[in-house]
């Protein structure tokens, strides 16, 4: 079982996934800061000084912080858009870097095809 686990860990896709998760976490922190510290204050100014993080509704003794939910949606949209741009750029680079495919040479005729071609040529010469 230890051998199988070592083989599993040594697969490139597992390591790539781990690196992606770590970088994704760091990227999430950057986007959260961008949204919280730069974009949302500007959106609040445009909307008349509204701070989304303080928006809430009191229902009985529970406080519903719908402003945090709006902020999470904005975070998601920005992250999704940035990932879209990255994937789009990557795909365009892949298309440009792909080598041009040269047409494959016609496959060598089989012995039967060669024999049939010879018979055809002989019949043409006679007729």
* pLDDT at residue 58, rounded to an integer: 92
Q: Are 36 and 51 in contact (CB under 8 A)?
A: no
- pLDDT tens sequence across 35-61: 778 887 887 788 777 777 788 899 999
The CATH classification number of 12-99 equals 1.10.1200.120
Q: pTM of this prediction?
A: 0.50
Percent of the chain with pLDDT over 70: 92
H or E element, residue 45: helix 40-46
């Amino acid at each position: 079982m230890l051998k199988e686990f070592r083989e599993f860990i040594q697969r490139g896709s597992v390591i790539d996934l781990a690196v992606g998760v770590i970088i994704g976490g760091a990227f999430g922190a950057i986007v959260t800061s961008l949204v919280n510290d730069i974009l949302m204050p500007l959106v609040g100014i445009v909307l008349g000084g509204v701070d989304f993080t303080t928006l809430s509704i009191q229902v009985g003794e529970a406080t519903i912080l719908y402003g945090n939910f709006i902020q999470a949606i904005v975070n998601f949209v920005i992250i999704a858009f940035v990932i879209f741009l990255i994937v789009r750029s990557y795909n365009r680079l892949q298309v440009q870097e792909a080598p041009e495919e040269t047409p494959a040479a016609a496959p060598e005729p089989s012995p039967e095809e060669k024999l049939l071609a010879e018979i055809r040529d002989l019949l043409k010469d006679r007729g």
